[in-house]
Amino acid sequence: MWLRSCLLVALAVVAAAAVGSSGSGAALSQVPTKPLPLHSAPPSPLKLVATVRGPNDPHDFDLSMLIPRSSRLRQVWFIHGGGMPDQVLVEWIRSNAVSPYGSDFSDSVRWGLTLWTPTIARADFQAPWKGVAIPLLKLAPGAPYLRVAIADVTGDGHPDVLVEQYPHTNHGCGPHQVVATLADGKTWRVFKASLCETDLAAAHGLLKLDMPFYLPGDSVCCPSKTEHLELRWNGARYVTASLRITRDH
């Protein structure tokens, strides 16, 4: 799917220039005055990594059952809403270090995000649960390299998982993705794109992207305009629901 975006002429070049830099970004000598097309990867099913039998209510779980052996739980999100079953998102890590900051870990540390979904609610309270792995860069977890949000961006009333990673870049540059469990119970990555200066957000069931729109002479931090793009999930892909551009200064 090709989405309209206002990223720089070559996002990879911008991201590479930002690695290890603490500056605000140099002024751009050649910047488009209109949005450029951006390719979003097609939706793809996520890999099943584990199964377990447990209580129908995720709050009753022994959470050690939901993480790999020899790892420890780092964070947990309970996901509830809409007509879908309750889910559990767990972040696990294989490290004795305890910190919310990615700078306290090396990029070689093993960690992951696993989304757990019950397949059938059973009267004996031993439902079969399946866990899928959210695809991640090989990068230390935690701030300032990771942002996780829970919000409905597919319009079904059930919250989805929004994940952004910033691989040692400034300006929030890196892969942004949305993981959704659809009506058939299967979990998919429904959106993936490389973005800068843009947080994934929800707007009444839509995926909202407020993206920088650069004019000649703008620095990376300070675009003159903002492109407000809202995308609607139509059951197979995201399509444009609304688009407007506003001047910031």
Condensed to tens digits (0 to 9), the pLDDT of residues 39-75 reads: 789 999 999 999 999 998 899 999 999 999 999 999 9
pTM beyond 0.75: the answer is yes
Quick one: three-class SS letters along 172-231? CCEEEEEEEECCCCCEEEEEEEEECCCCEEEECCEEEEEEEECCCCCECCECCEEEEEEE
Of 16-25, 34-43, 75-84, 110-119, minimum mean pLDDT range: 16-25
Give how far Cα 85 sits from Cα of 26, 78, 165, 204, Å. Answer: 48, 11, 27, 20
Give me the mean pLDDT over the 135-162 stretch: 97
- At 26 the pLDDT is 36
| Number of CB atoms found within 10 A of residue 241's CB | 18
Task: Please provide the average confidence, as pLDDT, over all residues in the chain.
Answer: 85
Say if residue 176 is exposed, middle or buried (CB neighbours under 10 Å; 0-12, 13-18, 19+).
buried
Question: Is 50 exceeded by the pLDDT of residue 22?
Answer: no
Q: With bands split at pLDDT 50, 70 and 90, how would you rate the model's confidence at 95?
A: very high
Question: Is 80 exceeded by the pLDDT of residue 82?
Answer: yes
Helices (H), the chain: 11-18
Q: With bands split at pLDDT 50, 70 and 90, how would you rate the model's confidence at 120?
A: confident
- At 35 the pLDDT is 56
- At 33 the pLDDT is 52
